[in-house]
Structure 1
Amino acid sequence: MLNGGVADVTGTGTMSASTMLGQGPRIADFLAPIASELAEAERIFAQELGSRHPFVQQLVDHCSAFRGKRLRPALVLLCGQAVGRLTPDHPVLAAVVEMIHTATLVHDDILDESLVRRHAATINAEWGNETAVLLGDYLFTHAFHLAASLESTLACRWIGRATNLVCEGEMNQVHHRGDLDLDESTYLDIIQGKTAELIAVSCKLGAHYAGADVETTERLERFGRDLGSAFQIADDVLDLWGEERVAGKSLGTDLFKQKLTLPVIRLLNVAPLEVRREVHGLLNQPGPETRRRLRDHLNAYKTLDYSWTIAGRFVESSLEALAILPPSQARTLLEAMARSVLRRDR
């Protein structure tokens, strides 16, 4: 890794954190080869969640505004294509993981007291926490109901385990809220549960249901876990550095809830005592001014660039995991998707 910047896995040098946030392809750019299967997953998603109660249907329809990237269903399908042929089970699995992900978004917005997600009001902001909790539960139960429609219970077991790890990660993060001694190892353990695990199981399901052997399935699971870790680190940088009008969601919520993320953890490790004391004080009075002043310190001690470097290592590891695959369009797209994490702006 190069000092003062993030490793650019495309081989074009290094870039500053602020530069990298504003360029690069989006997940939607990679979806053309799986367009028909993704459309089928969308149809299954809508059919499974259809309700005879207009208010419930309104809530479900509102959630469609949150589901911009389709990262997890795309990974189910692309990993399946990368190892073999897609089956009728793949769109079902794609719909299932998207339901789980949407449920976690609804519940996350409650925990973070977020008001906006992808330029739309959150469920909790529009209809209150009670409705948001129930809607998240509704999405979870429908996901498992749909997974149970497959001939094997394997998908239910794998998704159930992944969901348990997601919840453990979230609870662990809440437990460490306000912990100014949180270390990088614990932070990485938290994000590998709350974010990376569902991405990992999406890749694992796609590979297994396309007939991949055990080694290939495990390598694609590793690809997903490393990709998810890089993705969450990028999201945490964006929470500090991005602009809400671009991100389309509430930013600074981690600061408001005193959830330490990698840039701040690094700052507290490398800054002199007087700066650490000032940062401690800032974290006790969250707000827009706190975010601005904190960013000055993050820039001064290059902790945003450090965070991109760590994300870059996860991207490199994810690319190594894909080396087991034969050359194909799907593999190329998976590699490009991993690289794009370092250049995401939303």
Structure 2
Amino acid sequence: MKLPSFLKPRPAFPFELVKPEIERVEELLMEQARAFDPNVEGYISYVCNTSGKRIRPALAVLAGGATGGVTNEHRQLSIILEMIHIASLVHDDIMDGATIRREMPTAAAKWGNALSVLLGDSLFAYALELATQFNESSICRKIARASRDVACGEILQTQRRFDFTLSMEEYFKIIEMKTAALFASATELGARLNGRSDSVVTSMYNYGNRLGTAYQIYDDCIDLVGDEKEIGKTLGTDLAKGKLTLPMLFLLRDATEAQRTKLQRMVLKGEPMDTTILASIADYAGAIEHAVNTAKEMLEEARKDLICLDASPHKEALVTITQYLDGLLDQCRTSV
């Protein structure tokens, strides 16, 4: 089912409502970079400027606005979550051998793997140091747990590379840890900082978890059907590195025994693969369709999680994010 025209995706991610807050977060991130040794500051500033749309900070601010109001603690949460995210990207790019992010060389491509590992570690450590400044110790614990989940999710995914016994359930566990954990932390803690009830906090956690999971599925699809110049980062790395993402799991599930054997043999080569080859072997378009539909179902559930909130521009923005991602998923379907 196609989206009506008024829900079609706009050119930029729909965070206009909190644009001033995100601009402030950008300034605060640069201030945090200056907290490092002067010989390290330049590295920190560089990766902070190449890390993307600031989705997690925007979610923390929107969740705060939708549950009582945005405070300095929400801004602090935004900075911490973004630094954890940036650290994970630095490490991801090393493991994936990615050379481009946001149309700029990755840290690994620019300075090598050894320095980049330490750079990511420094960002992780400093983010957790900042988290200790919250008055409520449970906030710090939850941030630390989300950081652990991100790292463990990457470990699990690395363990299961080229593992054709990976189940759908295991796949979802991995992406909920490596991607959705920070989305869920942003929305859950955004509500918790405003002292909202446990039921509201849980609903906001569920919203972030579903949104983050759907976003990772979209990212998995884009790795197969996206255009590097348009997306601004190295694509096609998942299959070459043996990552069995949701589209590939659907492709393997629905293939005949002979097709499955051929697909597995190709993936095991560990080489970049032209997706037209995949399409010639099995129902590649159908696999993308299944993945897109799975993500869209999650987004529908995420919208239901917001029913507990009073009407407000911030709540409307949280709904709009899911509709925007719906539109991006539709584009994945038509790009096959």
Q: Report the aligned-residue RMSD.
A: 2.1
Q: Report whether the alignment pairs 1:146 with 2:130.
A: yes
Amino acid at match of 2:9: G
Deviates more, 1:168-177 or 1:290-299: 290-299
Q: CA deviation at 1:296?
A: 4.2
Q: Give, in whole Å, the separation in 2 of the partners of 1:236 and 1:96.
A: 26
CA distance in 1, matches of 2:282, 2:325: 21
Please tell me whether residue 64 in structure 1 is matched to residue 21 in structure 2. Answer: no
Structure 2: how far apart are the matches of 1:266 and 1:305?
9
The answer (yes or no) to whether the contact 2:247–2:287 under 8 Å persists in 1 is yes
- What is the alpha-carbon distance in structure 1 between the residues aligned to residue 281 and residue 181 of structure 2? 32
Aligned to 2:141: 157
1:276 aligned residue (243, 260, 285):
260
Question: Judging changes above 3 Å, is the alpha-carbon distance between structure 1 residues 42 and 285 closer, same or farther for their aligned structure 2 residues?
Answer: same
Q: Give the share of equivalent positions with the same residue, in percent.
A: 33
Partner residue of 1:231 out of 215, 219, 236: 215
User: Match for residue 29 of structure 1?
Assistant: 14
Deviations 1:26-49 (A, max 9, x none): 66432x322332233222222122
CA, structure 1 residues 338+290, in 2 after alignment: closer, same or farther (shift >3 Å)?
Answer: same
Q: Find the partner of 1:90 among 74, 77, 93.
A: 74
> Is the counterpart of residue 209 in structure 1 residue 193 in structure 2?
yes
Describe the superposition over 1:279-308 as per-residue Cα deviations: whole angstroms up to 9, x where unpaired.
Answer: 112102344444431244465551001100
Matched, 1:197 2:176: no
Match of 1:182 in 2: 166
Asked whether the equivalents of residues 279 and 285 of structure 2 are also in contact (C-alpha less than 8 Å), the reply is no
TM-score (norm 1): 0.89
* CA deviation map 1:80-109 (0-9, x unaligned): 111111112111111111001101100111
Judged with a 3 Å threshold, the aligned counterparts in structure 2 of structure 1 residues 320 and 52 are, in CA distance, closer, same or farther, namely closer
1:117 counterpart = 2:94: no
Distance 1:49 1:300, change over 3 A: closer
Match of 2:225 in 1: 241
Instruction: Provide closer, same or farther for how the CA distance between residues 287 and 246 of structure 1 changes in structure 2, counting only shifts above 3 A.
Output: farther
- 1:17 is aligned to none
Distance 2:79 2:25 in 1: 5
| 1:44 and 2:28 matched | yes
Q: 1:52 to 1:100 in 2, by over 3 A?
A: closer
Q: Secondary structure at the match of 2:49?
A: helix
Unaligned runs of 5+ residues in structure 2 are: none
Partner amino acid, structure 2, of 1:246: E
TM-score (norm 2): 0.92
5+ long unaligned stretches in structure 1 = 1-6, 13-19
The one of the two structures with greater contact order (alpha-carbon pairs below 8 A, sep at least 6) is 1
- In structure 2, the CA distance between the partners of 1:26 and 1:197, relative to structure 1 (3 Å rule), is farther
Classify 1:298/1:147 alpha carbon distance in 2 versus 1 (closer, same or farther; 3 Å): farther
| Whole-Å separation in 2 of the counterparts to 1:40 and 1:305 | 39
Q: Which residue of structure 1 aligns with residue 86 of structure 2? A: 102
Match of 2:114 among 117, 121, 130: 130
Cα deviation digits, residues 132-182 of structure 1 (max 9, x gap): 111101111111121222222222111001111112211111111111121
Contact 2:29 2:48 in 1 (8 A): no
Aligned partner of 1:3 in structure 2 is none
Alignment size in residue pairs: 329
Q: Which residue of 2 is the match for residue 15 of structure 1?
A: none
